[in-house]
Amino acid sequence: MKDKVSVEDEDVNYQENFYFMLNKPLGYITATYDENFPTVISLLDDETVKDKLFPIGRLDLDTEGLLILTTDGQLAHRLAHPKWNIEKEYYAIVEGDVSKIDFSPFEKEGIYLKKDKYKTKPFKVKVLSALEEESKVLITVSEGKYHIVKKIMESLGHPVKYLKRVRMGNLKLDENLQPGDYRPLTEEEIRKLKSLVKLD
């Protein structure tokens, strides 16, 4: 039996945490407050909830795509922590033809970034199309280093022209969400995310 809370004969539904999927548009900063740019939180309508929400991880000002906004600090901490190796998949348009690159060694070894003097974790690249002027790829990384996807592709001689996150862990970006749109996560989506980081 569950307790019911009523105010003036109206049932009050208490929700401990909130979870939203946002398709982040270009030009918005992944923060709760910023003096110079509009934030992803400013895209939300519900004033009572938006003040409590914060983004999990970050997307650059010039990067679009999947962003999770929540009030659940424990889930946010685990999804962002390197220990859990949460995969993040990006759709990228890069300069030049990548068809001659053998990406398979990077799935085991990662790549050494000379400018940063840093070796990445293993990552995957799937080539969707490759033309002389540009290529389209899906790149999957499991680390949240600053500009990691851009740095990887630049080190391979193919700078990123456009970047969009399409998956985080087992959560895929809802194709029906236009840039700037958002929706609550379903109970099943929340359950799967929690299961991924052993919070079930």
**Max CA pair span of the chain:** 70
Residue 182 bridge partners (DSSP): 22
Q: What is the pLDDT of residue 10?
A: 55
The mean pLDDT values, 10 residues at a time, for the chain of 200 residues are 48 76 97 93 86 92 97 96 95 98 97 95 98 98 94 98 98 97 97 95
Q: What is the pLDDT of residue 6?
A: 47
Nearest by Cα to 179 from 62, 73, 87, 101: 62
Q: What residues are labeled active site?
A: 60
pTM score of the predicted model: 0.90
Nearest by Cα to 58 from 26, 29, 87, 96: 29
- Please name each of the domains of the chain with its CATH number: 12-82+170-196 (3.30.70.580), 87-168 (3.30.70.1560)
